Chain A
């Protein structure tokens, strides 16, 4: 201690965290409930990204700023009632994300009409195949080799515009397979934008398709991942400390996960795979602080036997207050750059992470540790009410 140093948090604070726990728990309950209710589809819902919801997403860059509402109107005029348009990246880039909930444009009627026409004019073998989850694509097999142009002409004679005819190797000997890709959502939206905003030179940068089946699977996997991670962490903490600590950890983890989810619910930012990654990271990180406090509680329990539990917990939290605050502060500091320079997903990642870190520190002080007291007290009361011989032997700490 030869140099003058300072403490951001004085090392001898005596804040009564345990005493404030009722207010804190009430506040947290309200916040958590609000997030959950808000995330329900019936109330407001999460803005599920294409990752989860399925559909077509296009990133379009313009030469100059265009009103997002105008773009939405244009897209909706094409018949996509569920279109969503948002700016993407910094204002100066004039980039927009356009999302529609459909993948294929062709209706079953269109498909049948095309198939009838092709069957009438060309030697089709087997049943042509169309799957709306794959896009505007019909697979044909022929017993002899039509030219691409021939096939294109037949399809276009039904009034369906063809984007591409692709020959694929035949499945069985002597047959030829062709895939007819008709002009789908991308072309339609692009043409419309070219027409309406020709002076702003719309440029489609990227197109993504996700089938609903894939989306569903990803969503289930995401939720499963969060649950598994929580379970494993609780088991680890239980084994390393004591399973008496586990309920407090579970509640703190759930609390932090829900608050982080709140970022996506209230900001309306896209909830996608990266969002699941943030929640998982928050879950993993927030235990960090909790463990520091638990560690100290355990240390003090051994040192200060007979001390009232509430005082013990209060003392422990206060003793490591500087640490829990500073570790979170340092981690938050490393996110600052990402918050300033991050675009799109990365900005959301950093912002949600920051909220998760703050929530993690808060929940360590006000939720996890006081929770332990509450559980202990309940156990004590039960024991007092119905003392049974095998339970009278208190667990050694």
Chain B
């Protein structure tokens, strides 16, 4: 006992210093005006010696304003799309195996694939041999056809995967816009909850999140002359594609680019260009739409003109075959890399296909060697490079050149991210939308802080008044408790909400609670005639379990709250949990060490 207080005081001092150190980023975060907190100014302001700048206290949606969305994923349509794709696969597979197939299409409720064939029995056996773990053949197929259906577990798996993938996709997108501390959670009922603190524009958020991010590979039809007829209807663009004279005419214009043909030789291919998307849409509608047949469509891509950092953007068309050859669902992995094959390093996106996708890609690239393959992301042509050789499981997307290296690398990174997350597997609908006004924030946070401070001061004052010196010790523990809670919150990146502030205050109340229990017990022991030393020892020993019990029972309630609560309620629960753990430490370990220090001699006096 003699020297052990030294160790304990040392430990407590270390904990206190560590807490202060961990709060350094938060200090710099709150020093900035609200508008700049989430920007680069913050990261620059945090000194190098401080902990990671990301570890700061966050303000929840209710405190800084923002957007809350609950989005429902239409899993039904995801499943249907999956079934349709499988039907295509089955048709291909049967043809490969030499089974005559007329067609393979979803039938009935869209979950059964009907294969029309002159040899139903053979078709059924061939398919089931390949997909025996996932599919079975239900009865009831009409003459000259066989039915194939998915097992229930597989369908459930499709649904779960659809929601999971949607969540992943949304997370990636949100990360891309740099919203600080988005909170994205999967909930039951195929819903995804998204909270974007500090985000002001709900319409933009909904638009960005609701897009499907469909990735498709399509082949450009450079042999076709369908668009050549447009030349008489629209003005020609001034300048070459690499250096259009901007701005382009308001109604859009036509231009040509020289492309290589698979047969060798080159050709001038017509395309349309305009300054913005809606101009181009209007031009297509007016001049080009009627010239297309059902096998062709126009893809729209973006181009830039000029040198250096200031470039003009324009939009242009690509004449594509309408058929979607392959979708992003088959991509297993993607990352940004640097391609050094053509001398100078050039950022590219390298991807890996699933074995199934690899097979399809190999076929596609073999059949279309030296043609251009368009990578269409959300209906926009990202790149359209030539297929230089057979690509199977590993492929590469070359980005349009002419931009600074860093920018291109970033773009490659972004594309890789989206590819990895894949497309939103199904449309999402917004179930719940809450916009918390930003003006509500500062006012409430000021009131919340005042409220917490008033509570804290009252408690501190009461403890000193009632228990004198021991009360002061309890207050020291209380202050440390508050510091510790904030530090832990900063470290794990919890978000502080208004109910969280209430939870914080309640925690302080509970920490005092423990000290009252201890002090009352010490009083009781003193009344029973024990010496100060004995009374302190006895007091702590006897009250130890009572404190643990009280804390654990409240902890149980808090954990349940965290499990079932959402939004601010969760913030409250998290703060309460952290507070209770900190309170156990401060009330049992910290106050005891200080008490032991002051009462280390038997002659010690104590005001309780």
Task: Give me the interface of A with B, judged by CB distance under 8 Å.
Answer: 1-3, 5-8, 11, 59, 131, 133-135, 137, 139, 144-145, 147, 164, 166, 168-174, 177, 179, 205-211, 213-214, 217-218, 221-222, 224-225, 228-229, 232-233, 236-237, 240, 273-274, 276-277, 280-281, 283-285, 287-288, 291-292, 295, 299, 319-320, 322-323, 326-327, 330-338, 340-343, 345-346, 349-350, 353
Contact = CB atoms under 8 A, between A and B. Distances in A.
B257 interface: no
Interface in B24-72: 70, 72
A276 B563 CA distance: 13
Given A284-B554, A284-B557, A323-B516, A225 B468 contact: no
Contact of A273 (B285, B444, B568): B568
Interface string B573-584: 100100000000
B455 A338 contact: yes
B400 interface: no
A337 B455 contact: yes
A144 B499 CA distance: 50
Contact of B285 (A147, A327, A350): A147
A2 B526 CA distance: 11
**What 5 A-B pairs come out closest when comparing CB atoms?**
A284-B557, A337-B454, A331-B509, A334-B509, A284-B554
Given A173-B322, A273-B565, A322-B520, 6 more contacts: A5-B467, A205-B437, A207-B434, A280-B557, A295-B549, A335-B509
Contacts of B540: none
A295 B546 contact: yes
A47 B188 CA distance: 26
Contact of B212 (A133, A144, A169, A213): A169
Interface of B: 70, 72, 77, 81, 188-189, 191, 203, 206-207, 210-214, 216, 218, 278, 281-282, 284-285, 289, 297, 322-324, 378-379, 427, 429-437, 439-440, 444, 447-448, 450-456, 458-459, 462-463, 466-469, 498-499, 501-502, 505-506, 508-510, 512-513, 516-517, 520-521, 523-524, 526-527, 542, 545-546, 549-550, 552-558, 560-561, 563-569, 572-573, 576, 605-608
Contact of B440 (A3, A206, A217): A206
A26 B189 CA distance: 44
Contacts of A332: 509
A330 B455 contact: no
A171 B605 CA distance: 80
B572 A277 contact: yes
B526 A277 contact: no
B561 A225 contact: yes
B550 A338 contact: no
Contacts of B436: 206
A28 B19 CA distance: 46
B572 A147 contact: no
Contacts of A211: 431-432
15 contacts: A5-B608, A11-B523, A164-B203, A171-B77, A171-B427, A292-B550, A323-B520, A334-B458, A334-B505, A335-B506, A337-B452, A338-B502, A341-B454, A342-B447, A349-B502
B564 A206 contact: no
A326 B520 contact: yes
A174 B297 contact: yes
A177 B427 contact: yes
A335 B455 contact: yes
Nearest to A211: B431
A168 B212 contact: yes
Contacts of A330: 459, 462-463, 509, 512-513, 516
Which of B448, B463, B505 has the largest count of A CB atoms less than 10 A from its CB?
B505
Contacts of A2: 605-607
B462 A283 contact: no
A6 B211 CA distance: 69
Contact of B573 (A7, A277, A299, A320): A277
Nearest to B62: A345
A282 B72 CA distance: 34
A247 to B, nearest CB: 16
Contact of A169 (B379, B463, B468): B379
A331 B468 contact: no
A174 B324 CA distance: 9
Contacts of B278: 147
Contact of B433 (A7, A209, A299): A209
A341 B561 contact: no
Nearest to A281: B557
Contact of B561 (A1, A213, A277, A323): A277
B429 A285 contact: no
A6 B322 CA distance: 89
Contacts of A273: 565-569
Contacts of A345: 498-499
B296 to A, nearest CB: 10
A207 B437 CA distance: 9
A232 B561 CA distance: 12
Nearest to B210: A168
A336 B568 contact: no
A205 B458 contact: no
Contacts of A214: 70, 191, 431-432
Contact of B560 (A147, A169, A280, A295): A280
Given A2-B605, A206-B437, A337 B451 contact: yes
Contacts of B77: 171
Contacts of B297: 173-174
B468 A3 contact: yes
A172 B72 CA distance: 19
Contacts of B463: 330
B560 A346 contact: no
B411 to A, nearest CB: 19
Contacts of A343: 444, 447
Given A284-B557, A336-B458, A274 B432 contact: no
A166 B499 contact: no
Nearest to A223: B564
A353 B81 CA distance: 51
Contacts of B435: 206-208
Contacts of B508: 334
B553 A284 contact: yes
Nearest to A288: B550
A218 B566 contact: yes
A168 B429 contact: no
Contacts of B467: 5
Which of A207, A323, A334 has the largest count of B CB atoms less than 10 A from its CB?
A334
A87 B188 CA distance: 34
Contacts of B191: 214
Contacts of B560: 225, 228-229, 232, 280
